[in-house]
Amino acid sequence: METIEKIKTQISENPILIYMKGSPKLPSCGFSAQASQALMNCGEPFAYVDILQNPDIRSELPKYANWPTFPQLWIEGELIGGCDIILEMFQKGELQPLVKETAAKHKKDDSESQAE
């Protein structure tokens, strides 16, 4: 599968998806750690893609998203933003309802999954 097609599939199949360095439990950079922590604090399941394990996605996603850095949070197919935006939304209390409403619409019973 072409990288862009893989990215589109991941985004469409995972209503709450973060592209990050490492995993939520073992992040490999401070920005990914902060962003995934904010997301975990929302208390809903979400998917992640470790871009360090997927160099093709790491190189193609910034062009596709028109967003140069990681992490990237996607909710229902829309790019929400990177670390600063995620933290700002979390601190303002805007991220939690967005994540909860999205999770309620797409109920699954696993707490965290790696997008394929």
Residue 40 burial (CB < 10 Å; 0-12/13-18/19+)? middle
Pairing of strands 72-75, 46-50: unpaired
Q: What is the pTM of this model?
A: 0.91
Give percent of the chain with pLDDT exceeding 90: 90
Average pLDDT, whole number, for the chain?
94
Closest by Cα among 8, 40, 15, 16 to 27: 40
Q: 110: annotated binding-site residue?
A: no
Q: 50: annotated binding-site residue?
A: no
> Is the confidence at residue 108, as pLDDT, over 60?
no
Q: 56: annotated binding-site residue?
A: no
Could you read off the pLDDT of 45-99 as tens digits, one per residue? 999 999 999 999 999 999 999 999 999 999 999 999 999 999 999 999 999 999 9
State residue 62's pLDDT score: 97
Q: 42: annotated binding-site residue?
A: no
Classify residue 25 as left (phi > 0), alpha (psi -120 to 50) or beta: alpha
User: What is the set of domains in the chain, with CATH numbers?
Assistant: 3-114 (3.40.30.10)
Q: 21: annotated binding-site residue?
A: yes
